[in-house]
Amino acid sequence: MAADVKYRVLLVGVFNELSAYKYSFSLAISCLKTYADKVLGNSVNIRNLNILDTDEEKLIKAIREHKPSIIGFSCYLWNVGIICDFCHKVKNLFPEIKILLGGPEATGRREQLLKSCNADYLIVGEGEAVFVEILKHLSDNSPLRGIDGLILPDYSHEEASNVKAVLLPLENLPSPFSESGIPEGMHSEMFFPFETMRGCPNHCSYCLWTVFGSKSVRFYPLDRIASDLEYISKNAPKSGVFVADSDTFINKDRALKMSGMFRKAADEGQLRFVFQTNLRHWDESLMEAYNHELFEINFGINALTLKTQKVFGRNCSESQISAQLAEIRKKAPKVKVFLHIMYACPGESFVDFCNSLDWALSQPNTITLFFHTQLLYGTPMQKKAKELKIVCRNSPPYYVISSAECSAAEVKIEELMLICINTWLYDVNTKDRFRQIVMEEYGGSFSRAFMGLWKKMPSMSKKTLLSVYSELQDGPVFFIDNYVIDIVQEFPQKNDTQKYRCVEKIRSIFDF
């Protein structure tokens, strides 16, 4: 590539609004820009744009200002619908601009997404190496067909299915934080995804990582992690850092070494860390090392029903889980413990769901987040959907509508239950009274309490609840999951009008 050629690229990260994570930042596009800048130097001019899904005007303004030859969109479940709309608008307004897609939805949907967005290029899996390769080829005017990791619109289904991700050693990747700088305006109380590793050795059937081509686990050097954490704590204090690893604690020695780095950043920069992990990896030494009030640990329980665990590719009994959790509560009392449980899962009946819910809500000092099971494109579970008799929405977020064990009507009751129980349990106006009713009238069973209250509910209240349900269903993608997440983490504020309105209505029917 000639040194004076400026290939202009606009990379776009698109978010929807979660009250818990208001100001977000796309780690994906930062990694891409930092790597391409390092390899291609001044021969490219890449601008990154982080926008909300409502910010179409900002996007158009940035295109007019930056005049890119290529726009790259980072596609996830939460934004792929709006990105498709953006792509069609861009093609209408600026037909000369080429569109590049990447991210988990691009990896899962491949040629089908490329076509529905009318885009020009799509990258499978990790993007750094392929992105640079495309830019090099475009600048040299050499043909793109055959570049590893790339799909073009004229690829057949078979050709697209055979495209494999290209993985680089992590030591070769420059840091999007300490070597690139945090984007302007993101210098305090931000929310940053942060990696200490890539890949996952497990193969949970619902997860895209199994097809990401990254089963081999690769780690970033420890000194880079230390300098990045120091950089964030100095330059964006009081921020939330979401550690985006498959499981930070998979390698115990490393996790123990990193604990001091995380603690230092939490103490000096008041950074709040969110980790994701499997309970199995936790022993006494880890519990003690990570016992810090600014650490939040998300334990992926996913399912208690053994039949479901089998479908997921997991195997851990309820008693093992309870015992391990009790140990963590004892040895790491300062950490905030979140349990992640999926509902509407294959293998789980309505009764199993109720049992899981009651188990989860009886765990002391924990918060449980329930996620609607989704059949992500490209995952083993999606491929086996027919065999498992799962019916799901065919557009994002691909929620399971019914399974062999649970009818659509039962899944709907599960959602109504989650909306009501979470609102009544976390709203200051209802929580004490609701708990008292559960304990005194329903022997501590939240699910039986809901079913009892639902039976007695006047028809006007039922109507109100069903109207909130359909408002949440028809709202932006994931609204029910997002509603519940926001409620348990940071109650929606008055200015968050739609969610707040829903909360008010659910609160009002509690007094029927």
Residues at the site binding ligand B12, with contacts judged by CB under 6 A: 11, 16, 18, 21, 24-28, 31-32, 72-74, 76-78, 100, 102-105, 108, 123, 126-128, 131, 193, 195, 207-209, 242, 244, 371, 376, 478, 481-482
Smallest distance, ligand SF4 to C-beta of residue 210, A? 6
Smallest distance, ligand B12 to C-beta of residue 458, A? 32
Residue among 327 and 496 whose Cβ is closer to ligand B12: 496
Q: What is the dihedral of CA 331, 332, 334, 340, to 10 degrees?
A: -130
- Out of ligand SF4, ligand B12, none, what residue 199 binds, judged by CB under 5 to 8 A for its kind, is none
Cis omega (within 30 of 0) for bond into 153? no
Smallest distance, ligand B12 to C-beta of residue 387, A? 21
- Out of ligand SF4, ligand B12, none, what residue 338 binds, judged by CB under 5 to 8 A for its kind, is none
For 458, residues 6+ apart whose C-beta sits below 8 A from its C-beta are 512
- Two structure tokens written together for 477: 């993608």
> Do 469 and 420 form a contact (C-beta atoms < 8 A)?
no
Smallest distance, ligand SF4 to C-beta of residue 211, A? 10
Smallest distance, ligand B12 to C-beta of residue 77, A? 4
> Do 113 and 93 form a contact (C-beta atoms < 8 A)?
no
- Out of ligand SF4, ligand B12, none, what residue 105 binds, judged by CB under 5 to 8 A for its kind, is ligand B12
- Out of ligand B12, ligand SF4, none, what residue 102 binds, judged by CB under 5 to 8 A for its kind, is ligand B12
Positions in the binding site for ligand SF4 (CB under 6 A)? 200, 202-204, 207, 209-210, 246-247
Smallest distance, ligand B12 to C-beta of residue 361, A? 19
Closest-CA residue to 33 (of 91, 102, 108, 110) = 102
> Do 73 and 14 form a contact (C-beta atoms < 8 A)?
yes
Find tokens 């997860």 and name the residue.
207
Residue among 246 and 356 whose Cβ is closer to ligand SF4: 246
Smallest distance, ligand B12 to C-beta of residue 457, A? 28
For 70, residues 6+ apart whose C-beta sits below 8 A from its C-beta are 7, 8, 9, 10, 97, 98, 99, 100, 138
Find tokens 């065999």 and name the residue.
387
**Burial level of 311, CB count in 10 A (0-12/13-18/19+)?**
buried
Residue among 202 and 235 whose Cβ is closer to ligand SF4: 202
Q: Is 79 helix (H, G, I), strand (E, B) or coil?
A: coil
| Distance between CA atoms of residues 91 and 223, nearest Å | 44
Residue among 233 and 308 whose Cβ is closer to ligand SF4: 308
Smallest distance, ligand SF4 to C-beta of residue 381, A? 11
- Out of ligand SF4, ligand B12, none, what residue 210 binds, judged by CB under 5 to 8 A for its kind, is ligand SF4
Find tokens 């977020």 and name the residue.
397
- Two structure tokens written together for 448: 């039986």
Smallest distance, ligand SF4 to C-beta of residue 313, A? 8
- Two structure tokens written together for 429: 């106006």
Smallest distance, ligand SF4 to C-beta of residue 207, A? 3
| Distance between CA atoms of residues 68 and 65, nearest Å | 9
- Out of ligand B12, ligand SF4, none, what residue 200 binds, judged by CB under 5 to 8 A for its kind, is ligand SF4
Residue among 206 and 434 whose Cβ is closer to ligand B12: 206
How many residues in total does the chain contain?
A: 512
Smallest distance, ligand B12 to C-beta of residue 137, A? 14
> Do 161 and 174 form a contact (C-beta atoms < 8 A)?
no
- For CA atoms 232, 234, 235, 238, the dihedral sign is positive
Which residues, in sequence order, are bridge partners of residue 241? 192, 273
Nearest residue relative to ligand B12 (C-beta): 102
- Out of ligand B12, ligand SF4, none, what residue 204 binds, judged by CB under 5 to 8 A for its kind, is ligand SF4
Residue among 18 and 207 whose Cβ is closer to ligand SF4: 207
- Out of ligand B12, ligand SF4, none, what residue 478 binds, judged by CB under 5 to 8 A for its kind, is ligand B12
> Do 104 and 124 form a contact (C-beta atoms < 8 A)?
no
Phi, psi dihedral angles at 24 (to 5 degrees)? -105, 170
Residue among 352 and 481 whose Cβ is closer to ligand B12: 481
Residue among 204 and 229 whose Cβ is closer to ligand SF4: 204
- Out of ligand B12, ligand SF4, none, what residue 16 binds, judged by CB under 5 to 8 A for its kind, is ligand B12
- Out of ligand SF4, ligand B12, none, what residue 53 binds, judged by CB under 5 to 8 A for its kind, is none
Residue among 207 and 345 whose Cβ is closer to ligand SF4: 207
**Burial level of 157, CB count in 10 A (0-12/13-18/19+)?**
exposed
Residue among 102 and 269 whose Cβ is closer to ligand B12: 102
**DSSP H helices in 16-55:** 27-40
- Out of ligand B12, ligand SF4, none, what residue 242 binds, judged by CB under 5 to 8 A for its kind, is ligand B12
Which residues, in sequence order, are bridge partners of residue 11? 48, 72
Residue among 19 and 374 whose Cβ is closer to ligand SF4: 374
